[in-house]
Structure formats: C-alpha cells, structure tokens
Amino acid sequence: MLAVPSYGQGFLGVSFGGDFLSVGGGARALGMGSAQVAITGDVTSGYWNPAGLTRITSTEVAYMHSERFNGIVGYDYGAVAFRLPGSDAALAVSFFRQGVDRIKNTLNAWDRERNRPRDNPADYITEFSASDMAFFLSYANPFSEQLQWGVSAKVVHSRLGPFANAWGYSIDAGLLYQWNDYHFGVNLIDITTMMKFWTVDADRLQPLADEFGDVVPSGENELIRPTVKIGVGRYFNFGNFRLLVATDTDLRFENRRAFYINAGPVSIEPHLGAEVGYRNAVYLRAGITDFATDQNSSIIISPTLGAGLQFGAFNLDYGFASFAGVSSDLGFTHRISVNFTMGRLAGRN
C-alpha cells in the first residue's frame, strides 16, 4: 500500500531539512567561504541572491561538480541565465542534485524460511540512490541603477530509492544595493516557509519489520523555516590588481544551537571571504566558514581556498575546503565549476 500525503496533516519542524542546498552554486563561492550575497552578479545569483541577475550583460551558462566525504556524496549544479529582450530584467533556471548512488539493497537476500542468507544472494541484491534535487526559476529587475530586486521560486524533490520520496516548494527574495565601491545584499530564503510532503511505500519496507523487527516509517510532512542572509562587500583597485573582501551572516530560526553565536532559537553563522584578481584573468581566493565550538567552548573555524582563471568566454574555478576545522574529519571537499558568457565571444567584453 502506498501512503498518499494528506494536506490536512500537521507539519514537523526540522532543523536541517534544507541543508543539501547550503552547498550553493559555483566553486568561486566555496573559495571565498560562501560570502556571496552582496557581491554575486553572474548566473549563480539565482541561488546566492536573485537580485544579482540584473548584473549579467548576456546569456551565461554554468556547471559545477563537487564531491564530499571522500567522494561518497556527489553534488552537481547547472544553471542558465539571460536578459529578457527589450527590458532590464533577467531570468535564470538552476538545477541542483546531491546524492549517494549505488547503495546496496539487501532486504530480499535473506531466506525467511531457513533464517539464513539465500544460496545465491547476489541475485537478490539491487542498487538504489538516495538523492535530493531542486529546481529554481529566478527573475530579477532593477528598481534603479543602485537598487535591484529578485525572486526565486523553487521546487525540491527528495528520493530514497523506491522506498520514499518527497516534494516541497517555497520562494526566496533578494535585494542588492550599491554605494560607490560598497555592495550590500540580503536574501530571504524560504520566505514563504518550505513545506515538504513525504510518501512512503510501506510494502517495500515491510522486510524491515518481518526480518529485523524494525518499525516501518510513515510519511511525515516537514516544515523548513526561513533563513535570512545579509552581507556586505567592497572592491579595492591597485593598478592591475583588484581586491574584493566580503562578509555574510546567516540568521537561521530553526533552534539549531550548533554554532557559537545563538540567541534563543536563532543561530548566527558568519562567512568571510576575499579575492585577489589580476587583470580580470587570474584569481586567488580564501575564506573562513563553519564557525563552531568544541567541548571546551573554544571557537573552531574552517578555512577555504580557491583559484580562478578567465580565458575568452570561459571562467574555470576551483574550490577546496574541509582540510581543517570543524569539518576536517569528514574528508576533503573539492569543487570545480565552469561558467560560459556568450557576450565575451569574438573578443567582446
């Protein structure tokens, strides 16, 4: 029997329900400690702050691949953004997938009658994937030359092989403001609150109860509360060099209590980043993220590093993290992303 979600059911508030999206889009962001909300201005803005899409000048395409936990978890991101003809508005479509693939399903490899593995257990072992996916449709338009706004409508889909799946939806809204070399940004994530509806195929999970005495889970509707990201960035020019410094703060209302700054149910997550560019061609980046405390109340931080190269219409970026700090025990994180800007073809700027 397949359990169908009821929209009259109550919702369970969760503290990490949308964390698969915290990876974000683009390796540049990882290298800068994920401090992006005020300085984003390319195709990845659909995620970081949709208002930043107003800064694109032509069609842009991006793809990123990342591996976490020593390659166990794969993460892929792709997006396309373009200006709407005859207006200052821009539109973007973004797709995210995080998953663990080729998980072995051994539930049918046990011989219930003889209470032992089947004689040919490999014939009864199948594979499945556990994945989270998201689709963003983003729109942005300027209020003025200095102030821009944008929104992202998003749909998420989680799937645990053939056993369970969920659908959810919400809206993000962002603002950007520029004053001289200073950039200010805010992104209200899940401003409508993310509602996620689960269904479970109880028949496929029945062997858990028959063989191991486990309780078969039922579908549980989840509620993911809003997050507020605020940030500021500034550019400094030194001849052929350009320095960008940025800082973000994430305000979460999920009662996580996992970070060193908490105010009741609100957790505060800082991000710091810097980028040095040479002739808009070569970039070096560094950042700090994942502020936390240990059992001795000592503050632990996770540094990040990155580099970028622009050649013709392409930007190639690399990010490296989890080599020190609170997440170092989980294995290195590598990200590589490629951005293509159509307006830079044939020598155009």
Residue 317: give its domain's CATH number.
Answer: 2.40.160.40
pTM higher than the cut 0.75: yes
Residue type, 240: N
DSSP assignment of 131-165, as one string?
A: EEEEEEEEEEEESSSSEEEEEEEEEEEEEETTTEE
- Is pLDDT at 207 greater than 80 in this prediction? no
Q: How many domains does the structure of the chain reveal? A: 1
Q: Is residue 56 part of a domain?
A: yes
Residue 113 lies in a domain: yes
Q: Which residues contact 126 (CB under 8 A, 6 or more apart)?
A: 104, 105, 108
User: Degrees (nearest 5) of the Cα angle 22, 26, 29?
Assistant: 70
pLDDT digit string (tens) for 292-337? 766 666 677 889 999 999 999 999 999 988 766 666 566 678 889 9
Return the minimum-mean-pLDDT range out of 79-93, 169-183, 309-323.
309-323
Measured CA to CA, the distance from residue 248 to residue 38 in angstroms comes to 8
pLDDT, position 154: 95
Do the domain assignments include residue 252? Answer: yes
In a domain, residue 100? The reply is yes
Indicate left, alpha or beta for 70 from its phi (over 0: left) and psi (-120 to 50: alpha).
left
Average pLDDT over residues 10-25: 64
Rounded percentage of the chain residues whose pLDDT exceeds 70: 78
At residue 346, the 3 state secondary structure works out as helix
Q: Is residue 10 part of a domain?
A: no
Q: What is the predicted pLDDT for the residue at 329?
A: 61
Q: Give domain status of residue 244, yes or no.
A: yes
Residue 26 maps to a domain? no
Q: Which of 314, 305, 313, 309 lies closest to 335, judged by CA?
A: 305
Looking at the predicted structure, is the pLDDT value of residue 36 above 90?
yes
Do the Cβ atoms of 277 and 267 come closer than 8 Å?
no
Q: How confident is the model at residue 169 (pLDDT cuts 50, 70, 90)?
A: very high
The whole domain housing 340 covers 34-347
The answer to whether 97 touches 73, Cβ cutoff 8 Å, is no
